[in-house]
Amino acid sequence: MQRRQFLKTAGFGAAGVAAAPFVSTASANETYTWDMVTSWPKNFPALGTGANDFARRVEQLSNGRMRIRVHGAGELVPALEVFDAVAAGTAEMGHSASYYWRGKVAASQFFTAVPFGMNTTEMNAWLYHGGGQELWDEIYANHNLKPFAVGNTGTQMGGWFKKEINSLDDMQGLKLRLPGLAGEAMNGIGVSTVTMAGSEIFTSLQTGALDAADWVGPYNDMAFGLHQVADYYYTSAWNEPTAVLEGTVNLDAWNSLPEDLQDVIREAARASNLAMISEFAYRNAQALETLVDEHGVQLRTFPEDVMAALYESSKEAIQRQVDNDEESRRVYDSYSAFQKLVRPFSDVGEYAYLKNRDNVGA
């Protein structure tokens, strides 16, 4: 009965999932040129090029009626000031990750990644069909923004460490780059975490300002050369089982668009979301092979006591968040209810298949 009620309230019925075929009615009568600021170096693999891909799709779907100029981090605004710049109208659009704004909008973290939370398929299902997008819209409207999922890295790695981790004791006092709720969980087990732009990670590891760092995964980590400044690459996925890349639109600019161009942006965002996920699946596989075979990177997994401590600390960090912030409570209530709904099928579907594939192929 509870599941039926959740399905009803989340809009899961036929009316909730049905959608008319997308048809662009854009014409040459009126044109728009917008600026998009990003948190990534210009043309950075997958992240920066993903923003470029979105802009290209918008121009193509609008028959040239709408053009978006993409700016790398620091070109118009610093990497971690995208939220404020788009809210203020300095640029019409932004491309970043929502957990960077936890100091401004605490609930934003749930729209990027939740430690030990939903994977990419489940997260997209929540956003597109489970009420997640509606909550995201509501919360960001208070900051003059309209959000979209415009990319996803998929499951991220546990990070780069300059020393090997053999027990929970080895984590004490480490200086680690790790944003969001996962960073709070790490703080809870004795690690000191910071949030910084990706472009600063290499130098910070090299100079000793950091002992370890999370970035994305093999493809992007190799692009920044992190294997040159840290010896151990931890594959223990816990911190970001998915990582949504956020596209934001200044709400005044959004409301000024005709309906057909709003539809263009929605469809370009969906297409770019899928395209980035697919690219990461391919590029990460290639990059991991290169890191191990050509660069001698040492893959490791966190010891059991570290993983157990992170699991408990993650629960505590999330609970503190929802206890202290009403928006976070509302978002997490929806998120966790959806996770409970989809987990049984995930367990008997994807998870069971992967275990069977490993067992048969062993």
> What residue numbers does the annotated binding site cover?
156, 177, 214-215, 240
> Residue 121 and residue 138: Cα distance in Å, rounded?
23
| Residue ranges at the known binding site for Na(+) | 215
> Residue 5 and residue 15: Cα distance in Å, rounded?
15
Q: Select from 193, 159, 157 the least CA-distant residue to 173.
A: 193
What DSSP element (H or E) covers 302? none
Q: Are 85 and 101 in contact (CB under 8 A)?
A: no
Q: Which amino acid is at 46?
A: A
> Residue 104 and residue 178: Cα distance in Å, rounded?
18
What DSSP element (H or E) covers 275? helix 259-293
What is the sign, positive or negative, of the torsion defined by CA atoms of 192, 196, 200, 202? positive
| Residue ranges at the known binding site for substrate | 156, 177, 214, 240
> Residue 358 and residue 362: Cα distance in Å, rounded?
6
Q: Is 187 exposed, middle or buried (CB count within 10 Å of its CB: 0-12, 13-18, 19+)? A: middle
Total length of the chain: 362
DSSP 328: H
HSE-CB of 314 using CA atoms within 13 angstroms: 17
| Rg (the chain; Cα; Å) | 21
Question: What is the 3-state composition of the chain as percent helix, strand, coil, each rounded to the nearest 5?
Answer: 55, 15, 30
> Residue 83 and residue 180: Cα distance in Å, rounded?
15
> Residue 207 and residue 205: Cα distance in Å, rounded?
6
